[in-house]
Chains A and B, each alone.
Chain A
Amino acid sequence: MSIAPHKTIICLLTLILAGAGRGTAQEPSFTVSVDKSRVAVGEQFEITFSLGGTSAGSDFRPPSFNDFLILSGPNQSTSMQFINGSVSSSVSYGYVLQPKAEGNFTIGPATIDYGGKKLQTQNVLIQVSKGAPPGNAQAPQTGGADIDKQIADNLILRVKLDKSRVYQGEQVTATYKIYTRVNISSYNLTKGPSLTGFWSEDLEVPKQIQLSTETVNGKSYRVGILRRAALFPQRSGALQVDPMEVDCAVQVQTRKRSNDFFDQFFNDPFFGNVRTVNHKVRSEPVSITVLPLPSASVPNGFNGAVGKFTMEAWLDKRQTKTNEPVTLKVKISGRGNLKLLQSPAVTVPPDIERYDPKISDNITHQGDEITGSRTFEYLLLPRHAGQLKIPSFPFAYFDIEKKNYVPLASPEFTLSVEKGAADAGGPAAGISKEDVKLLGEDIRFIKSEDLALRRKGESFAGSPLFFALSVSPLFGFVGFIFYAKRRERVLGDVVSLRNRKARKMAKRRLQEAKKFLQQKQREQFYGELSRALWGYIGDKLGIPPSDLSLDLARTALESHGVSPEAIGKLSAAIEQCEFARFAPSSNSLQMDGLYNEAIEIISRIEDQLR
């Protein structure tokens, strides 16, 4: 906060007029002076002990500054003058002090030896008031408040914006001007405006403030530009540029009450006893209306860039190997809110790993305009070989002058990636333990015996040979059947045929007999039954019907291993048939029994002949 100029001891009292010098040449003087006798707690002041004479004194003893802190001192300065052959010298001892507490304090005399004489200064009374603001606690003669008001009237800080209605992201130039009618020895920007909602970039102002003259409210002021800044509102609505505070060290002329002739002399306005007063000026808050950017037809790739830009994009190399990085640089240059530019959405094929961009700015101020470039450096790491395409990516900005969006697009890049050395046969992630073990193994050796070399595209499955081989069994089978039948017929193998048909024939005759049985046609029934039995035996034994007799049948059956019981039953049944055919006495019950017996006999002989 404090900017009180911390001056080192200034030796003012070396100025000795010729006449005075002559008059006081023999009379040495040893005086004390303070720059202010009324101070506030914590305020610093200066006390100076001056010895004027023809030679330097010795053994300077300062008073005890018990009630004060010595901030600096003793600061000794000496000056010598030769006037009209005589020498006059002046030595001063200065201290910078700070009171510890409030109250009235007396600083005792300092002593010094001068030509064997002990000289002493007078007591000094210091009035220490309670912590009044440093800027107001001075000027005992004219009164602090007065001076302050006087300064305030003559010192104004203003913020001027070049526009009051802007688009979001559009540049506004703020100029901080100080209007003064007083002398300012130094200033200090204590409180920069807190620019919430803005991105600000300080513009250059000359280091040496150049003053011009302006008339405000009929009063003529000297005007200096303290600071200029380019502001870029980051959101829309009514934004406020907060006040700025500046601590100024204002030089005011004061008079000091003193009985000392010298003091009176030096306090003469002509010599301008100048005091520095600290004064704080504040600017008024300024509001600005920020218009939102049109929401209609916002192009792809717009990310808040406002101004006028161009985009360049390039790859540092077009050919690389896998796992060797490539840099994609995107340079957006122009004027506008460069610092707010966001990285364009660069999409890369999944075979390329893309890292977050490194952003470097090169921002310059040309007059009031922020120009320059922002460069995005993308590190790309191709993971797989191939012709990898990086598609064109968009960037758009809002042109303030034309009041529309301007879309830009980067060129499309093709990166040809060769297989790097490290990539050869590298295993993939996500394989099982067993697979890992397998990876270490070598493939099995080649086959040296080629057992199935054949014409390409020629397969057995569709070949004529295949069809021949697969269809031939069918023909073979049909042929076989025909062959068998023919052979049977040609060889007249009636016996085997009859044998095979014996049962069938017997069955048919039995069915016929049953029909007669149901119709109660006795004669026909017995005739059919006997034919069935005779026929069966004849067929089965291969005896022609003409040769067949009961005796012959009996011996033949015996030789085929048919049991005598069955033979007996058979002959009994045949005899019964023959007999009953011509005997009228038999009833239907008898016929039924005989029929069933015939069936039984045939099935029994069939079994036993096997």
Chain B
Amino acid sequence: MKLLGLCLLLLSAQLCLAQEARLEFNQANQLYRDAQYDKAARLYEQVLKNGYESPALYYNLGNCYFKLHNLPPAILSYERARRLAPHDDDISYNLRLANLRVVDKIEPVPQLFFVEWWIAFIGLFSSDGWALTVIVCAWCAVIGGALFFIFRSPVAQRIAFAWALVSVICCAACVTGLVQQVKREGNDRAAIVFAPSAPVKSAPDNQSTDLFVLHEGVKVELMDAVGEWKKIRLPDGKVGWLAGEAIQVI
């Protein structure tokens, strides 16, 4: 009971702080409606700087930058929003629209079908979503188990047992999804090119040969880092080294 009380206290304190951020967020929304995109963007950034985030916040910020014709931060914001809310239709739509304005068109290498399915499965929920499913499944399994012992009738017992078994399997799948998604999110595996044009080198030093050039807004996968240099991979399989200042991690 004491613990619960402490939790409630902390929660209320957080809610109080969040209230301020919410106020700023609404203010920024008003600025956006008045087409003062740069001011709105600054305010959204302020909320982010204060340590808050949410899909809507990133999404709105992305919209501001898009309206300001500032493509890389727009795409970065949309990507961050999508990371938090993978199935938000608005975020996906605007991100697609922004990506259309990127100069480099990169054709992704087709993946094997089961790899695609696997990625799609992991992308089904954000890490928080997975966490929720894990909890729900676990409780389902426990309830099923308890019912098994409570029921006297063999038929009811069988149903309860089957229910518990399915819940346990689901729970295991969700834990897998959660672990993978947390890994993906935690590793900062992608970045957006911010430099108007950035040469991709064959090795992490300035003297090495230019392999190709990327332009602002391109999303790259991060693979490795040596000093200020980042090893990147494109969806079409090309690999090279980019100067760290040319990109921003999502």
Contacts and interface: CB of A to CB of B under 8 A. Distances in A.
Q: Do A and B form a real pair? A: yes
Interface of A: 349-351, 384-386, 388, 417, 419, 424-431, 435, 438-439, 441, 443-457, 459-462, 465-466, 469-470, 473-474, 476-477, 480-481, 484, 610
9 contacts: A349-B197, A349-B210, A443-B94, A450-B22, A453-B22, A453-B25, A460-B131, A474-B142, A480-B149
A222 B92 CA distance: 96
A251 B141 CA distance: 130
Contact of A449 (B14, B56, B127): B56
A354 to B, nearest CB: 15
Contacts of B14: 455
A88 B168 CA distance: 148
B100 A453 contact: no
Interface in B180-216: 181-182, 185, 195-199, 210, 212-213, 215
B135 A481 contact: no
A454 B18 contact: yes
Nearest to B185: A459
> How large, as a class, is the contact surface on chain B?
35 or more
Closest 9 CB pairs of A and B: A385-B196, A473-B142, A461-B127, A447-B56, A386-B196, A461-B131, A446-B60, A473-B138, A386-B197
* Chain B binding surface SS class: helix
Contacts of A462: 127, 182
A453 B182 CA distance: 19
B213 A428 contact: no
B48 interface: yes
B128 A459 contact: yes
Contacts of B196: 384-386, 417, 419
B236 interface: no
A429 B104 CA distance: 9
A450 to B, nearest CB: 4
A172 B160 CA distance: 108
A484 B94 contact: no
Contact of A446 (B59, B85, B127): B59
B103 to A, nearest CB: 5
Given A386-B197, A388-B197, A460-B131, A428 B103 contact: yes
Interface stretch (B63-71, B109-117, B221-229): B63-71
Contacts of B71: 425
B18 A453 contact: yes
B179 to A, nearest CB: 10
A484 B52 contact: no
Given A431-B105, A473-B142, A480-B146, A460 B128 contact: yes
Contacts of A427: 100-101
Contacts of B51: 455-457
B105 A430 contact: yes
A417 B139 CA distance: 61
A449 B25 CA distance: 9
A439 B101 CA distance: 8
Contacts of A349: 197, 199, 210, 213
Given A384-B215, A446-B59, A428 B101 contact: yes
The secondary structure that dominates the A interface is loop
B96 A446 contact: no
B247 interface: no
B57 A450 contact: yes
A424 B103 CA distance: 11
Contact of B48 (A439, A454, A456): A456
B56 to A, nearest CB: 4
Interface of B: 7, 14, 18, 21-22, 25-26, 29, 32, 48, 51-57, 59-60, 63, 66-67, 69, 71, 84-85, 90, 93-94, 96-98, 100-105, 127-128, 130-132, 134-135, 138-139, 141-142, 145-146, 149-150, 154, 178, 181-182, 185, 195-199, 210, 212-213, 215
A456 B185 CA distance: 13
Contacts of B67: 443
A450 B54 contact: yes
B192 to A, nearest CB: 16
A470 B130 CA distance: 11
A451 B48 contact: no
Given A384-B103, A460-B131, A443 B97 contact: yes
A559 B85 CA distance: 63
Most buried by B among A388, A446, A466: A446
Contact of A443 (B26, B63, B128, B145): B63
Contacts of A470: 131, 134-135, 138
Contacts of A481: 149
B96 A438 contact: yes
A454 B54 CA distance: 6
Nearest to A610: B154
A427 B100 CA distance: 7
B215 A439 contact: no
A496 to B, nearest CB: 8
Contacts of B128: 459-461
B87 to A, nearest CB: 13
A446 B131 contact: no
A453 B197 contact: no
B35 to A, nearest CB: 12
A498 to B, nearest CB: 14
Interface centre among B85, B100, B195 (most CB of A within 10 A): B100
B100 to A, nearest CB: 5
